[in-house]
Structure 1
Amino acid sequence: RSSDLLLAELDSFVSVMNEHQQYIKAARNFSLRQSSFEDALCRHTLASGQVMVCPDTHLDQRFKAHPLIKNAPFIRFYAGAPLKMRDGAIVGTLCVTDVLPHSFTEEQVKLLELLAEIMTAWLDAWYHTSLRDAVTLLPNRQSLLRDLEQLEKTGTLEPYSLVLIDCIDMSRAYDIARALGLYALEALLQNIASLLQTRLQLRDNDRLYTVSKGRFALLSAGRIPGWLKQLSEKLGQVRARIGEEIAIDLTIHLGEVSFSPAFCPPVEVLRRGVSALHEAIGQKLPYTAFDPESDKRRKMDFLLLHDLAEALRGEGGLYLVYQPQISLHSGLPVGMEALLRWQHPRLGNLPPMQFLPLVEQTNLMAGVTDWVIVNVLAQLKLWRTKGINLPVSVNVSVSDLAREGFADWLERMLLRASLSSDLLSIECLETEKLLESPEAMRGLNQLKLRGFTLALDDFGSGYSNINYLKRIPMDVIKLDRSLIAPLAADGGSQIVARHVITMLKELNYTVLAEGVEDEETLLLLRGFGCDEIQGYFCSKPLPAEGVEQWLKSGKTS
């Protein structure tokens, strides 16, 4: 508009070009929005690098047969000035046109140049502001990607390193903002940025970036092996300040990726750096370098979760097996545990430990639990028509127990199937998480009130504290196989198991031992007062039809 007003009411536009197209980004009284590079008059302005004026295109041999002159927008007069950035790059043109021929004075040429310079200065300021973090004033993630793109264009084979530096996790940053305000958080981040620049002793070709709140990146060339450890040592025991009175000790993690710009795209470089950093954070290590094998496993894990989501939507592959539980008093089956299996379409039959630990970290857990329960209830209903009325236990996670309305949903599902709650037992692991979740404890108590049998799984492994038993309304305690496996060969293990079983019996729990694989272990457990056993000595996990055959075979005692 300014060029219009100052240059005799001429039509005006701003164009940018790549090697194939011209794009009109702003225009006044000019209808064209794009053209091919070949048809762009502005390409001549770009080629010359200075103002180009054509008073009458009909008299210029270059343009006499030009499609934009013979046809709409019928350009008869053209003047264009290059938009040249501080680094010398020409990013586009500022142009004025008319459908009539015009003379163009020296003063008008200078005015067009001045307008182009003003526009370029604005673009330059906007561009560089967009590449800076507003708080730390360091180059930002977009700037890092731009620099990596520039390196990629050079095709250099020189080795580079990108190190991601995690100084303060997001949850802690938000806690500080909530407690002390955003200005306090920004003061902390500024102090961290300043400390990093001092501690890292940056070389001329090193560049430090802010990639997110509390997270930085260092791009460096020609580093020697072992420098990551040295870098970590430089960043040991860093204390950042919020104002004069509050200091925070930082736990810093580093993740590094080495790469040749010619062979690794910028986005992939950053992804690998983030992958290495999260490996360090997850393992609670001060630093880790990118490991292709670990990265391959993580990609595989992600694909597994994607495929599992598809399977839950009915694509097939998931199925249940049932492992019988035998009474040591009568020798008869008293129940079964439902165990999830997955026949993956490409990878074959996957053991639960290959996918369930991944699921527990995602919101797929609820879908998996619901799938198991729905299919167990359908099987119980079918078995009842065949005269089989053994209860089945299912495993649920703390996140399931904490779900709003989980107990009500379970009760409704049983009513819909015309089944009683004593046919479905609920097994729970993750005791420490359970005690830390008031919502999960509430859900557990609601299940207890509705008559479900509750079992604590894997007692004797990990976090097994007798005191927590008083706080959890359990009916059955399942002894972990790590307590059971050594019984036949180790007298010390027998003493421990005997005392644990005696104590649990005195506390009025039903005691079930998992992982029983031989008769000697069975006899020892019976002598210790254990109530029930489960394991390969009695039966391996069986498909539903296999359970029916096993019950008919008379091998149950």
Structure 2
Amino acid sequence: MDAVRPRTVASGLRWRRTLLVTVGLTAGVDLVLWAAAPGLFRALPTAYWIMAVLAVVADAHPHPLPGRRVSRVILPSVCFTFAIALAWGFVPALAVQAVAVAVAGVRMRHPVPRSIHLGLQHAAGLAAASIVAGLASWRIGARPGLGDAALTCAAAAAWIAARYCVAALVRRWTSERRTRHRRRGRADLLATAALLLLAPLLLVAAQVSPALLPLSLLALHAVHRMVRWAGESERATRVDSLTGLPNRRALQSTMSDRGPDRQRALILLDLDRFRMVNDALGHGAGDRLLARVADRLTAAVPRHDLVVRLGGDEFAVLATRVEGTASARRIAEHLTEALSRPFPMDGTPVELTASIGIALQSGRRDGATLLREAETAMYEAKQRGDQVAVHGPDAAHDSPDRLALLADLRAALRQDPPKDGIVLYYQPQIAIATGEVIGVEALLRWRHPKRGLVGPEELLRVAEPTPVMRLLTARVLEEVVAQLADWRARKTPLRAAVNVSARDLHAGDIADRIGRLLREYEVPSDLLQLEITESALMTDPHRVLDTITRLDRMGVAISLDDFGTGFSSLQHLRRLPLSEVKIDRSFVLGMAGDRGDAAIVESVIGLAGSLGLRAVAEGVEDEVTWRLLAATGCHAAQGWFHARPMPADELAEWLARYRPIRPGVLRGPWIPAK
């Protein structure tokens, strides 16, 4: 509180000075006008003074439209001052307008330059309207005709044109940033025209009886409601209702407004483990936490930068003054530091971190591409376990070849019906003790129309850092579950294992999607197994744990793939609901000739057995390895020693001729299926 008090006092002193200067300037303008034509003001009728009072009263509640520009302010006084200009000339109208603008400026706490800017616009409008009326020597009588209506429209058009010409000149002179929102412009123009065209009605009412003039406040109230509705409607489409920040649509519109030689950075933040807050404290507390995150991010960036809530627990900052990657990284680190302080929630300090992706915009690159690149970098940061990643021209995934392949994959996945060349191969998994086929692993292939067969490693390397991965996983899951249903109908039920990425597990809806597929195809949940990697666990373990716990409760088995590589941790084996551990092929391939690899494989098999988990070895390509695995008690194996991956129809033929052979009775070299 002590830190806030001096700032509050200084702000109050500044505002009092602004108020005094505004009142002084207004009084000076009116005194000059009065001194220039004292006889004119003494001769003005009662109707003029009533309109003057009503103009000032109306501007005690001005109507600002959405936006920060002065030209977005609609003053209700314009209908009275426009009528005064038509009836009694420019000088009396300007005297009233000066007071009305000052009242509006005080009401909206405008600084003095902004009030002067607004006053100049309205003075120019009144001057243009007075010139049109003077050229026609026109005054509205008690019975206005068609010509009066035409001249009123002409004077109103001159008023509007002059005002917005002055606004454009001042904006260019002050280098104020332009915004392009056609809907706002239409609402602005419609409200201004409605107010101006009330003027002849006021003059007719004044000639009948000045006592009728206060009734015009009802019409002004209707215009006020219209302007307010337009503003709220525009705000609802461009502002996040929870945090009050601009939303995704506002960000895209801002990014489309590019200036010459301007470099900007889009910094995308995804809160880590936010779902844990919702689960522990409730969704109400989660909403309050998001609002506090929004406030802290807004306070951490300069006023010229834009803070946006994209949805869920994703935020973005559009930094408009960056000098390159290093500058953007400094901003990201500043945001990380701002979020590192605990958030007090109902007496409980909540710690938050965020994964941040950065994309730089320069030249003619569009906003949609920038947002996609920032999201790709953010997921790359999650996968690496880093807080910040930059999407730049030196990144491997930025090569034109990669981007073209990704675009082709996205287009292929959206084809309906699917004729995209994406196919699934299945590799059998063999129980070592009995030699029986206990399941298969589904492996992805893509027959690209120009590149030929694209392997799973390249396919996943391109897709996994992007939203395309979720489309790909959805496609694979549906095809695998449909194939399981087909095998079950043919009385040859098999269990199929499917690899899922970190992005799929972070989304959280994969459990619901799998549940719908199993119900739709009437497939028992124990026929489907999901394989996850340790890298997926490292990025956001709490969110992943929640997802795989739901899958385990549904009866879907979870296998920890590539165990022993990357970020191996025994914590995963102890606390995750796993059914199986897959030993990485890099150890299995070398175990026959490398004592270290053999020791690692034997240790993993023993550890899995003691925890009640199956141990499956990948990359079994010869009889020696097969026998070594049998001797160490490994449960199952897969590899080219038994069969290569094959399409579903070839797998059916292979199964028909396959005869289980135990390791103890193998004689001679095994001839693998082609």
TM-score w.r.t. the length of structure 2 is 0.49
- Is this contact kept in 2: 1:257–1:290, CA < 8 A? yes
Change (3 A) 1:485 1:315: same
The answer to whether residue 415 in structure 2 is matched with residue 310 in structure 1 is yes
Instruction: Determine the structure 2 residue equivalent to 1:50.
Output: 128
Give 1:161 shift.
Answer: 2.8
Q: C-alpha separation between the residues in 1 aligned to 2:554 and 2:485?
A: 20
- Cα distance in 1 between the residues matched to 2:468 and 2:252: 34
SS at match of 1:89: helix
Identity %: 21
Q: Give the direction of change, closer, same or farther, for the CA distance of 1:240–1:218 in structure 2 (3 Å limit).
A: farther
SS at match of 1:88: helix
For residues 575 and 343 of structure 2, what CA distance do their matches in structure 1 show? 44
Name the counterpart of 1:440: 551
Tell me the CA shift for residue 490 of structure 1.
0.9
More helix by share: 2
SS of 1:494 mapped into structure 2: helix
Counterparts of 2:308 and 2:574 in 1: how far apart (Å)?
Answer: 46
Match of 1:164 among 264, 267, 274: 267
Matching residue within 89, 99, 115 for 2:168: 89
Q: Report the RMSD for the aligned CA atoms in angstroms.
A: 6.1
Cα distance in structure 2, aligned partners of 1:242 and 1:509:
41
Q: Which whole-Å deviations, capped at 9, do the CAs of 1:367-406 have from their partners, x for residues lacking one?
A: 5333223235535766x7xxxx6x6331146845984477
For structure 2, which runs of at least 5 residues remain unmatched after alignment?
1-50, 52-123, 137-145, 170-184, 208-212, 214-218, 538-543, 659-669
Q: Does the 8 Å CA contact 1:394/1:426 hold for their aligned counterparts?
A: yes
Q: Which residue of 2 aligns with 1:342?
A: 446
Task: Quote the residue 2:470 is aligned against.
Answer: 362
The aligned residue for residue 642 of structure 2 is: 538
Is the alpha carbon distance of 1:52 and 1:142 closer, same or farther for their aligned partners in structure 2, counting shifts above 3 Å?
Answer: farther
User: 2-side partners of 1:479 and 1:167: how far apart?
Assistant: 32
Q: CA deviation at 1:488?
A: 1.6
Aligned residues: 451
What's the CA shift for 1:289? 3.8
2:326 aligned to 204, 213, 226, which one? 226
Q: Give, in whole Å, the separation in 1 of the partners of 2:274 and 2:166.
A: 40
Q: CA 1:407 to 1:395, structure 2 compared with 1: closer, same or farther past 3 Å?
A: same
Partner amino acid, structure 2, of 1:485: L
The separation in 2 between residues aligned to 1:429 and 1:245, in whole angstroms, is 40
Secondary structure (helix, strand or coil) at the match of 2:593 reads coil
**Cα distance in 1 between the residues matched to 2:480 and 2:429:** 19
Q: How does 1:118-267 map to 2 (within 5 A)?
A: 151-152=258-259, 156-157=260-261, 159-164=262-267, 166=269, 171=274, 175=278, 178=283, 186=291, 189-190=294-295, 192-194=297-299, 196=300, 207-212=304-309, 215=315, 217=317, 219-221=319-321, 223=323, 226-232=326-332, 234=334, 237-238=337-338, 239=341, 251=353, 255-260=357-362, 263-265=364-366
Q: Distance in 2 between matches of 1:443 and 1:164?
A: 38
1:507-546 equivalent positions in 2, closer than 5 A:
512-530=616-634, 532-543=636-647, 546=650
* Alignment-mate amino acid for residue 494 of structure 2: V
> In the superposition, relative to structure 1, how do residues 427 and 360 fare at CA in structure 2: closer, same or farther (>3 Å)?
farther
Listed as ranges, the gaps of 5+ residues in structure 1 are: 1-5, 7-45, 59-68, 415-420, 448-453
- Supply the distance in 1 between the matched residues of 2:654 and 2:270 (Cα, whole angstroms): 60
Query: Is the alpha carbon distance of 1:315 and 1:217 closer, same or farther for their aligned partners in structure 2, counting shifts above 3 Å?
Result: same
Q: Is the 8 A contact 2:531 2:561 kept in 1?
A: yes
CA–CA distance in 1 between the matches of 2:375 and 2:424?
38
Cα distance, 1:481 vs. partner? 2.2
Query: Within 2, Cα distance between the matches of 1:189 and 1:79?
Result: 48
Task: Classify 1:501/1:248 alpha carbon distance in 2 versus 1 (closer, same or farther; 3 Å).
Answer: closer
Aligned pair 1:394/2:496, yes or no? yes
Q: 1:351 aligns with which of 455, 466, 481?
A: 455
- Which amino acid is 2:323 matched to? R
More strand by percentage: 1
Please give the residue correspondences for 1:417-456 in structure 2 after superposition, counting only pairs within 5 Å: 426-430=528-532, 433=544, 437-444=548-555, 456=559
Question: Do the aligned partners of 1:402 and 1:442 also contact (CA within 8 Å) in 2?
Answer: no
Paired amino acid for 1:429: E
Cα distance in 1 for residues equivalent to 2:254 and 2:575: 60
Q: Of residues 377, 392, 415 in structure 2, which corresponds to 1:291?
A: 392
